[in-house]
Amino acid sequence: MKFSGLTMLGAASLLATLLASTAFADVTVHVLRPEVPNTEKAYHQKMVADFEKSHPGVDIAFEYIANEAYKQKLTTLLQSDQKPDLIFSWAGGVLAQQAKAGVLQDISASVTSDWSASIANAGLSAFTIDGKVYGMPVNASDVVFWTNLDLAKKAGVDPESIKTWDDFLAAVKKAKEAGVTPIMVGGKDKWPLHFYYGYLWVREAGKDGMAAAMGGKGDGFAAAPFVKAGEDFKNLVDLQPFEPGFMDTTFEQATGQFGDGKALFHLMGDWEYGTEKQNSVSGKGIPDDKLGTIRFPAVQGGAGEATDTFGGINGYAVIAGAPPEAVEFLKYMTDAENQKLAGAQGLFIPIAKGVDESIANPFFRKMSEALAVSKFHQIFLDQALGSDVGATVTDVAADLAQGVVTPEAAAKTVQDAWSMR
Amino acid sequence: MKMTELAAPGLAPSIRSRGRFTSQTSALLLMLPPALVLFTLFVALPLFDAAYYSLFKWDGYGTPTDFIGLDNFKQALGHAVFWQAVRNTLIVLAVSVFVQLPIALGLALLIYEKTPANTLFRLIFFLPFILAEVASGLIWSFVFDGNTGVAAALFHALGMEPVFILADRHWAFAAITLVVVWKYFGFHMMIYIAALQGVPKEMLEAARLEGAGRWAIVRHVQVPMIASAIGVSVFFSIVGSLQLFDVVIPLTNGGPSNSTHTIVTYLYTFGLTRTRIGFGSAVGVMLFVAAVAFAVLYQRQISKGSRS
Amino acid sequence: MNAFRFLPALGKAAVLLVFTGFVLGPLTVAVFGGFKTNGELRVNPFGIPQQWDFEFYAAMLGDPAFWRYMGNSLIISLLTVFLTLIVSAAAAYVFAQIRFLGSRMMQAYLLAGLVFPFATAILPLFIKVRDLGLLDSYWAVILPQTAFGLSLSIMLFKTFFEQLPKDLFEAAHVEGCGYVRFFWQFTLPLSTPILATVGVFVFVQSWNNFLLPLVVINSRELFTWPLGMMQFRGEYLSEWNRTLAFISLTILPAVAFFIAAQKYIVAGLTGGAVKG
- Inter-chain Cβ pairs, chain A and chain B, closer than 8 A: 81
The pLDDT assigned to C265 comes to: 54
Lowest mean pLDDT among A265-269, B70-74, C250-254: C250-254
For residues B135 and B138, give the distance between their C-alpha atoms in angstroms, rounded to a whole number. Answer: 5
Instruction: Tell which wins on pLDDT, C181 or A146.
Output: A146
The pLDDT assigned to C131 comes to: 87
Overall average pLDDT of the B166-171 stretch: 84
**CA B172 to centroid of chain Cα atoms:** 21
The pLDDT assigned to A43 comes to: 96
C-alpha distance from A192 to closest chain B C-alpha (Å): 14
Q: How far apart are the first and last CA of chain B?
A: 14
Q: At B148, is the pLDDT very low, low, confident or very high (cuts 50, 70, 90)?
A: low
Contacts of A372 (CB under 8 A, 6+ apart): A120, A356
Indicate if the pLDDT at residue A2 is higher than 50: no
The pLDDT assigned to A402 comes to: 94
- Mean pLDDT (chain A) is 90
Q: Looking at chain C, which subunits does it touch, using at least 3 CB pairs closer than 8 Å as the criterion?
A: A, B
Cβ distance A387 to A395 under 8 Å? no
Residue in chain A lying closest to B254 (CA): A188
The pLDDT assigned to A393 comes to: 96
C-alpha distance from A66 to closest chain C C-alpha (Å): 5
Residues in chain C with CB shorter than 8 Å from the CB of B148 are: 42-45
Instruction: Tell which wins on pLDDT, B162 or B279.
Output: B279
Residue in chain B lying closest to A403 (CA): B257
The pLDDT assigned to B302 comes to: 72
Beta bridge partners of A298: A164
Note whether C16 contacts A: Cβ–Cβ < 8 A: no
Q: CB–CB of B110 and C179 under 8 A?
A: no
B121: region left, alpha or beta (phi > 0 left; psi from -120 to 50 alpha): alpha
Q: At C7, is the pLDDT very low, low, confident or very high (cuts 50, 70, 90)?
A: low
The pLDDT assigned to C10 comes to: 87
Alpha-carbon distances of A159 from A170, A179, C128, rounded to whole Å:
11, 17, 57
The pLDDT assigned to C237 comes to: 53
pLDDT in tens, A255-312: 989 999 999 999 999 989 988 887 787 878 999 999 999 999 999 999 999 999 999 9
Note whether B293 contacts C: Cβ–Cβ < 8 A: no
Domains in chain A with CATH codes: 28-142+310-378 (3.40.190.10), 144-308+381-419 (3.40.190.10)
pLDDT in tens, B15-55: 445 677 788 888 889 899 999 999 999 999 999 999 999 99
For residues C95 and C119, give the distance between their C-alpha atoms in angstroms, rounded to a whole number. Answer: 29
CA-based nearest residue to C193, from C239, C159, C235, C237: C159
Overall average pLDDT of the B259-284 stretch: 89
Indicate if the pLDDT at residue B12 is higher than 80: no
C-alpha distance from A18 to closest chain B C-alpha (Å): 35
Most confident of A55-69, A389-403, B124-138: A389-403
Q: At C273, is the pLDDT very low, low, confident or very high (cuts 50, 70, 90)?
A: very low
Q: At C234, is the pLDDT very low, low, confident or very high (cuts 50, 70, 90)?
A: low
Q: CB–CB of C45 and B142 under 8 A?
A: yes
Domains in chain C with CATH codes: 1-51 (no CATH), 62-271 (1.10.3720.10)
- Mean pLDDT (chain C) is 82
The pLDDT assigned to A310 comes to: 96
Overall average pLDDT of the A2-23 stretch: 44
The pLDDT assigned to B25 comes to: 87
Q: Looking at chain A, which subunits does it touch, using at least 3 CB pairs closer than 8 Å as the criterion?
A: B, C
The pLDDT assigned to A341 comes to: 94
The pLDDT assigned to A7 comes to: 45
Overall average pLDDT of the B252-258 stretch: 85
Provide Rg for chain B, Cα atoms.
Answer: 24
Overall average pLDDT of the A49-71 stretch: 89
Q: At B166, is the pLDDT very low, low, confident or very high (cuts 50, 70, 90)?
A: confident
Mutate to test the interface with C, among A28, A35, A85 (most CBs of C within 10 A): A35
* Coil, helix or strand at residue A8: helix
The residues in A 17-46 lying below 8 A from C, measured between CB atoms, are 34-35
The pLDDT assigned to A136 comes to: 97
**CA C8 to centroid of chain Cα atoms:** 34
Contacts of C215 (CB under 8 A, 6+ apart): A72, A73, A76, C122, C125, C126
Residues in chain A with CB shorter than 8 Å from the CB of B147 are: 244-245
Note whether C42 contacts A: Cβ–Cβ < 8 A: yes
Instruction: Tell which wins on pLDDT, C210 or A240.
Output: A240
The pLDDT assigned to A1 comes to: 36
Overall average pLDDT of the B93-113 stretch: 94
Share of chain B above pLDDT 70, in %: 90
Most confident of A411-415, B263-267, C265-269: A411-415
Residues in chain A with CB shorter than 8 Å from the CB of B145 are: 245, 248
Residues in chain A with CB shorter than 8 Å from the CB of B282 are: none
The pLDDT assigned to C236 comes to: 65
Contacts of A411 (CB under 8 A, 6+ apart): A221, A222, A223, A226, A227, A230
C-alpha distance from A247 to closest chain B C-alpha (Å): 5
Lowest mean pLDDT among A21-25, A364-368, A390-394, B185-189: A21-25
Diameter of chain B measured on Cα atoms: 82
Alpha-carbon distances of C57 from A379, B261, C36, C201, rounded to whole Å:
41, 35, 10, 28
Overall average pLDDT of the A4-9 stretch: 43
C-alpha distance from B92 to closest chain C C-alpha (Å): 16
Lowest mean pLDDT among A194-208, B33-47, C98-112, C253-267: C253-267
CA-based nearest residue to A195, from A334, A321, A380: A380
Q: At A76, is the pLDDT very low, low, confident or very high (cuts 50, 70, 90)?
A: confident
The pLDDT assigned to C276 comes to: 21
Please name the helix (run of DSSP H) or strand (run of DSSP E) that holds residue A226, with its range, or none. Answer: helix A224-237
- Mean pLDDT (chain B) is 84
DSSP letters of A256-293?
Answer: HHHHTT--SEEEE-TTHHHHHHHTSSSSS-S-GGGEEE
The pLDDT assigned to B18 comes to: 61
Q: At A154, is the pLDDT very low, low, confident or very high (cuts 50, 70, 90)?
A: very high
Residues in chain A with CB shorter than 8 Å from the CB of C132 are: none
Q: At B162, is the pLDDT very low, low, confident or very high (cuts 50, 70, 90)?
A: confident
For residues A257 and A242, give the distance between their C-alpha atoms in angstroms, rounded to a whole number. Answer: 12
Mutate to test the interface with A, among B245, B274, B279 (most CBs of A within 10 A): B274
Q: At A250, is the pLDDT very low, low, confident or very high (cuts 50, 70, 90)?
A: confident
Residues in chain C with CB shorter than 8 Å from the CB of B140 are: 26
C-alpha distance from C28 to closest chain A C-alpha (Å): 22
CA-based nearest residue to A80, from C140, B41, B272, C131: C131
pLDDT in tens, A305-362: 999 999 999 999 999 999 999 999 999 999 999 999 999 988 899 999 888 888 989 9
Q: At C264, is the pLDDT very low, low, confident or very high (cuts 50, 70, 90)?
A: low
Q: CB–CB of C128 and B24 under 8 A?
A: no
**CA A326 to centroid of chain Cα atoms:** 23
The pLDDT assigned to A23 comes to: 42
C-alpha distance from A72 to closest chain B C-alpha (Å): 7
Residue in chain A lying closest to C129 (CA): A80
Q: CB–CB of C238 and A275 under 8 A?
A: yes
Q: CB–CB of C165 and B7 under 8 A?
A: yes
Share of chain A above pLDDT 90, in %: 71
Instruction: Tell which wins on pLDDT, C122 or A290.
Output: A290
Most confident of A9-13, B137-141, B243-247: B243-247
pTM: 0.82
Q: How far apart are the first and last CA of chain C?
A: 37
State the pairing for strand pair A265-268/A27-34.
unpaired
Residues in chain A with CB shorter than 8 Å from the CB of B273 are: 71-72, 387, 391
